Structure 1
């Protein structure tokens, strides 16, 4: 683990005892801090107490005597829609609030690095969609090319649960807006913004607050190099804020669909081909159409972002291309599950919002679309321009009738349950059809996570294909 520096002999409180909270508490103890912990759930508190942690009720006014810092888990609201009572109490007691990401950046560097031949690097990946795939793909490329690498943050393990850095290692961190919004230290070597679309708007009081949380990674983090997806205005604005002039190649512009030949350094995908363009000339081109683990334009955008980082770390185009072809893909993200009688089943349960579902719909033809769940703010209007390949929708979830009514121009059948939707979609399907789970909604009306929803889809599909 990464022992937290700067709090030896000081009392530090930890709020939230999930994966990151427990790792944080252990890392603080390893750094010599006096740690007290709290969670709103009694089972989590009991488990922490059984593991030897000092549980102290942080809702009590006297709990803050001598506390130097509060570290909160990312899922706990600290400003919008309203501050958690413990965070509000920390403010009232003039106790700073941080999260594990901030502690990681304060603590990761070590004096042992002076003896390394190659200094370790930290790459952070944020954005609305594609964070996990970009992060995992980059990690895969690095390992395939022989570079020591770790994957952590919002994917893989908690950041403070990482082992100390090795000579030449690259740590790839997927960071959500919840993580970037509060961290008091953000100092990546390379930072990536994949794209921007409305999400988590209640947590950030609108799109402006959501973008501001992402922007902190670049504006306050001061990375040596930034990789910015410029297919939305937010990306174009951010890239423009970072460059010093037309010839500034510290920012790599990326796109899925646009030619970016005028930028000092760009990586873009059009019609299935990835192109690297630098200082007025083409450097490399890769045919992505045969890369099985990265189907569709949205995955080609992810490939551009991962490729751009790999190139900035000194890897060659041919080595990166070979690694792309061996990438297996991530579970629940355009994941091919199986085939039966010419019908292919694809699990994209991670498509939890309109934008990510739209990208999934654009990646395939002849779609039998399983959708529905806990609808997010803004409705489904943004999906309707992208349903041309949908032969029929099979709607699941608690609000399936309301969801189906919004699918104007699409034949829709209300199935409610995953089992019924998979069975009916396969019964209707013809050879060449794709049964695609791309919910365009959160899972929490029926499942405790998008992973559980995807696993349920896989179970029903395997009953058909086995």
Structure 2
């Protein structure tokens, strides 16, 4: 646990008692603060009571008397489309609103660090797609190098649940736009921006607000190194803002779409090869094509980001190459879950929007595509340019018929359920095919979350493959 500093003897309100909220309450208490906890959900309040925290109704009059700050969980709207009523009241009264990420950066460094031989480092990863894989990949590389490393934030555990730093500890945080937008302190040693595509626009008042939330990770605290994906104009703009000269190697530009030029530091992937260039010279090259945990151009972008971030720690290209090769991938993200008779089965249940589905559809040469669920605005019309490798689509869930109308000439079948889709795709698959779950839709029509959807797909594949032996 990271005890929160700066609030000894002060009341601090905590709104939202999920994983991060409860961790925040514990860390505040450990630091000598008096946490006042609240959640609209009776079940969440009961969990807090079981840990010894008496719920304090933050909606009542005078709830903020003598309160030093309000700490908010990331799922609670604080600005758009409208602030939560408790947050709105705090804003009216001038009570500072923060989150656990801000508290972490205020509290992580301690005087104990004066005795360390190697200073702890914090690497933060944000962006629209690939954050989780990039974060996990950085953690894997650092672990392979033998350094103490922890992963937290939007993946794994709450940041304040982390243990205090040891000599040489590396902390890798995945941060969503909700987290970067609200944190009052953001001071990573290395900040990573993977890419940007439309998402959460209602929470940020449009694309400009969404980008501004991500950008705060770089402009708020001034990281020592920036790793920035420049395949979109926003990334190119951000890299330009963070550089003071073309040769400024505090900024590492990364790309999975183009060969990067210029005298600065860059890492890019083309035709399956990762290249590192610095001061106009190539430093290293890595063949990514046969690395099973990193299929497709989108994962090659993740590899570039992780490679660049870990190079800033002084790790060698050869060590990083070995770690990339041994990375098994994350569940539900281009995860190979089975293979038989030349047919691969890949679980990309996390592909809940068309942008992430497009990346998955470009990763394999011939695809039996399982798609559908609770479709988002616009459906899958924008995927038309990316359907060239699809031999046939097997459509499930609420939007199956809508998706069928948008597939034009692509062969397809309405299967309704995952069971039927897996059975039909497996029956028709030929050697060299990939049966790919990349739904391009939310899961809530049939599953509580994308994880449960991916687990069902994986279980069906396992049962089917077991029946062949």
Other-structure match for 2:386:
386
Other-structure match for 1:66:
66
Distance of 2:174 and 2:245 partners within structure 1: 29
Deviation at 1:140, TM superposition (A): 0.5
Q: Could you list the runs of 5+ residues in structure 1 that have no partner in the other structure?
A: none
Deviation at 1:404, TM superposition (A): 2.3
Deviation at 1:398, TM superposition (A): 1.6
Moved over 3 A (4+): none
Question: Is the 1:343–1:430 contact (alpha carbons within 8 Å) kept by the matching residues of 2?
Answer: yes
Deviation at 1:257, TM superposition (A): 2.4
Q: Write out aligned runs for 1:133-212 (5 A).
A: 133-212=133-212
TM-score where L is the length of structure 2: 0.97
CA deviation profile, 1:94-137 (whole Å, cap 9, x unmatched): 21111100100111010000111111110000001111111111
Question: Is the 1:230–1:236 contact (alpha carbons within 8 Å) kept by the matching residues of 2?
Answer: yes
Question: Is the 1:135–1:172 contact (alpha carbons within 8 Å) kept by the matching residues of 2?
Answer: yes
Q: More displaced, 167-176 or 200-209?
A: 200-209
Other-structure match for 2:315:
315
Deviation at 1:330, TM superposition (A): 0.8
Distance of 2:381 and 2:145 partners within structure 1: 43
Deviation at 1:385, TM superposition (A): 0.7
Q: Write out aligned runs for 1:347-426 (5 A).
A: 347-426=347-426
Q: More displaced, 83-92 or 329-338?
A: 83-92
TM-score where L is the length of structure 1: 0.98
Q: More displaced, 4-13 or 88-97?
A: 88-97
CA deviation profile, 1:317-356 (whole Å, cap 9, x unmatched): 1111111111111111111111233321100011111111
Other-structure match for 1:450:
450
Distance of 1:430 and 1:315 partners within structure 2: 42
Other-structure match for 1:226:
226
Other-structure match for 2:40:
40
Distance of 2:402 and 2:100 partners within structure 1: 40
Deviation at 1:378, TM superposition (A): 4.3
CA deviation profile, 1:119-165 (whole Å, cap 9, x unmatched): 11100000011111111111111110112111111111110000000
Q: More displaced, 427-436 or 105-114?
A: 427-436
Deviation at 1:421, TM superposition (A): 1.2
Distance of 2:30 and 2:45 partners within structure 1: 20
| 2:78 paired with 1:78 | yes
Distance of 2:411 and 2:200 partners within structure 1: 29
Question: Is the 2:379–2:402 contact (alpha carbons within 8 Å) kept by the matching residues of 1?
Answer: no
Question: Is the 1:141–1:320 contact (alpha carbons within 8 Å) kept by the matching residues of 2?
Answer: yes
Distance of 1:441 and 1:292 partners within structure 2: 25
Deviation at 1:450, TM superposition (A): 1.1
| SS state at 1:103 partner | helix
Distance of 2:416 and 2:98 partners within structure 1: 41
Question: Is the 1:116–1:167 contact (alpha carbons within 8 Å) kept by the matching residues of 2?
Answer: yes
| Cα-Cα RMSD | 1.1
Distance of 1:60 and 1:412 partners within structure 2: 55
Distance of 1:46 and 1:289 partners within structure 2: 50
Question: Is the 2:375–2:398 contact (alpha carbons within 8 Å) kept by the matching residues of 1?
Answer: no
CA deviation profile, 1:287-310 (whole Å, cap 9, x unmatched): 111211111111111110000011
Question: Is the 1:372–1:395 contact (alpha carbons within 8 Å) kept by the matching residues of 2?
Answer: yes
| SS state at 1:141 partner | helix
| SS state at 1:258 partner | coil
Deviation at 1:375, TM superposition (A): 2.2
Other-structure match for 1:276:
276
Other-structure match for 1:51:
51
Other-structure match for 1:115:
115
Other-structure match for 1:428:
428
Other-structure match for 2:247:
247
Q: How many corresponding residue pairs?
A: 466
Deviation at 1:372, TM superposition (A): 1.2
CA deviation profile, 1:155-189 (whole Å, cap 9, x unmatched): 11110000000111110001011111111110001
Question: Is the 2:247–2:262 contact (alpha carbons within 8 Å) kept by the matching residues of 1?
Answer: no
Other-structure match for 1:21:
21
| SS state at 1:125 partner | strand
Other-structure match for 2:93:
93
Deviation at 1:367, TM superposition (A): 0.6
CA deviation profile, 1:3-46 (whole Å, cap 9, x unmatched): 00001100011111111011000000000111111111111112
Q: More displaced, 293-302 or 414-423?
A: 414-423
Other-structure match for 1:464:
464
Distance of 2:104 and 2:309 partners within structure 1: 21
Distance of 1:346 and 1:132 partners within structure 2: 17
Distance of 2:313 and 2:125 partners within structure 1: 15
| SS state at 2:106 partner | helix
CA deviation profile, 1:221-275 (whole Å, cap 9, x unmatched): 2111100000011101110111111111110000002111314100000001000
Distance of 2:377 and 2:183 partners within structure 1: 26
Deviation at 1:445, TM superposition (A): 2.1
Question: Is the 1:247–1:263 contact (alpha carbons within 8 Å) kept by the matching residues of 2?
Answer: yes
Other-structure match for 2:9:
9
Deviation at 1:457, TM superposition (A): 0.7
Q: More displaced, 227-236 or 51-60?
A: 51-60
| SS state at 2:413 partner | strand
Distance of 1:458 and 1:402 partners within structure 2: 26
